[in-house]
A and B are shown apart, each in its own frame.
Chain A
Amino acid sequence: MKRLLTILLAVSVLLSGCTTGSMGVEQKQYTATFLNLFDTVTTVVGRADSEAEFKEKAQKVHDELLIYHQLFDIYHDYDGINNLKTVNDQAGVAPVKVDERIIRLLVDAKAFYESTGGRVNVALGSVLELWHEARSDGRDDPVNAVLPEQEALDKASTHTDIEALVIDETASTVYLSDPEMSLDVGAIAKGWAVQQVAESSPTGLLISVGGNVCATGPKDTSGTPWVIGIQDPDGGNDYLHTIYVSGGSVVTSGDYQRTYVVDGKAYHHIIDPDTLYPSEYWRAVTIVCEDSGVADALSTALFLLPMEEGQKLLDCCGAKALWVDLDGNIHYSPGFNDLIRT
């Protein structure tokens, strides 16, 4: 009889671990999508007692992200805001007084440059701009799609010195001392912004900006982790894996993102600063890491590095990764297996 009792106790614990909601109330899970931020898809997922309650939370996340979207935009001007376009427009002319959030982003960007051995370089704007134009034109008119001219790429690459990015934290100004240089924070800004917003958001939300996913805590009060699917680079409905995430960030860099086709070959958007061409190390790299900004930078860096060097970066940040090589084989960093659900 004693044994029976023990077993019954185990059952009740197991069952109580499965119930949802704080006071026995079953909360519904909602999803909100926004298509106006960072030229990508923003998704907020969370549980709430009512749709109205969730919408309010999601709208707050959107409104905060919108500020970062405008500050870090290099293509558009906004009334009364000095953003990164302003900084680029004033290259070689004058320092620009900017919001402290731009200062903090760029200070972190310089640190990422150092820690990734220059793989993540926000001063690569003049090179990336050539690819951006070629891609944009090629997508509008696929028949006449062309690659950027090598001569133009070579010339642009002489104006990518991170030292020419001059940050004055006291005066809150940014100055590009090379008039031909321009900033492009695409490799870090989304993750960085998600991290900032996540830190001021309520617990139990899943926030994604263009695949930079951050969980502000488990999905309910009993600590149920989120289940995140990692897409197969070959597309389709299959996942490489599904993983458990209770907090922190997940992001993937893949050769299928933001592509265009020239002469039957697809070119993606992650440019190797050495070759000035899209990198060809990996099909995809997924990073799991506490900080979303670090995760974003790491996913770019690891996408541009052989596995051993990538692993060194992971070790510095306490991050984990999954690589998909060009033959479709999957490689795991130590510890990644602990996250895998299926």
Chain B
Amino acid sequence: MNKNLQLTFRKGDLLAILLVVAMTVMTAVFFLPKNTSSQNAVVQIYQDGELVKEISLGEDQTIRLTGTYRNTIEIRDGKVAVTETDCPGADCAHSGWISSVGRSIVCLPNRVEIRIVGDAEVDFVVR
């Protein structure tokens, strides 16, 4: 209706534009995929349902588990793997190196689960 209103650029407009820009940036930052293989991630090792060891993923080391079978677990360069086992099928060793929060390696015959925990982007992985 009022032509003048369309033409004048007011302080409020600038404020509104700035707010939109700020919101966009904030939203983008909020939803941006987080680095899931962060150094804060922790490796939890369970055997027979009990937590037997908890180590930072950033701490290189070798853990040897016994039980019905044996698993050699290595943490190196922010990754973890079962590098040696005598369990039938050796699925755990074939799982390779994992580094993302939420991933796990399982040795069913030896009732072992190696899990990386931390701030996860993904709740569960179907495989």
Chain A interface residues toward B at CB < 8 A: 1, 3-4, 7-8, 11, 14, 18, 29, 31, 33-36, 39-41, 43, 45, 136, 139-140, 206, 208, 211, 213, 219, 226-231, 235-237, 239, 242, 250-252, 254, 256-257, 260, 286, 342
Contacts and interface: CB of A to CB of B under 8 A. Distances in A.
Given A33-B113, A40-B108, 15 more contacts: A1-B12, A3-B12, A7-B23, A11-B19, A33-B104, A33-B115, A34-B49, A35-B108, A140-B88, A140-B89, A228-B124, A228-B125, A237-B37, A237-B100, A257-B127
Nearest to A40: B108
Nearest to A6: B16
Given A237-B100, A342-B33, A39 B12 contact: no
Given A4-B19, A140-B88, A227 B126 contact: no
A206 B126 CA distance: 12
A227 B96 contact: no
5 contacts: A8-B19, A33-B49, A41-B106, A211-B127, A230-B125
Contacts of B23: 7, 11, 14
A286 B126 contact: yes
Top 7 nearest A-B pairs by Cβ distance?
A: A139-B89, A231-B127, A229-B125, A229-B122, A226-B123, A252-B126, A237-B100
A224 to B, nearest CB: 10
Contacts of B99: 237
B20 A219 contact: no
Interface string B82-103: 0000001100000110111011
A213 B126 contact: yes
Given A34-B49, A41-B108, A237-B100, A250 B88 contact: no
B16 A4 contact: yes
B15 interface: yes
A304 to B, nearest CB: 19
Interface of B: 12-13, 15-16, 19-20, 23, 27, 30, 33, 37, 46, 49, 88-89, 95-96, 98-100, 102-104, 106, 108, 111, 113, 115, 117, 121-127
Contacts of A206: 123-124
Contacts of B115: 31, 33
A228 B122 contact: yes
Contact of B123 (A35, A136, A227, A252): A227
B113 A228 contact: no
A229 B16 contact: no
Contacts of B96: 235-236
Given A33-B46, A235-B96, A226 B108 contact: no
Contacts of B98: 237
Question: Which of A35, A230, A256 has the most B CB atoms < 10 Å from its CB?
Answer: A35
Contact of B111 (A35, A139, A230): A35
Contacts of B102: 229
A165 B21 CA distance: 67
A11 B126 CA distance: 35
Contacts of A4: 12, 15-16, 19
Question: Which of A4, A29, A229, A231 has the most B CB atoms < 10 Å from its CB?
Answer: A229
B124 A229 contact: yes
Contacts of A250: 126
Given A7-B19, A239-B122, A35 B106 contact: yes
B108 to A, nearest CB: 6
A213 B124 contact: yes
A37 to B, nearest CB: 11
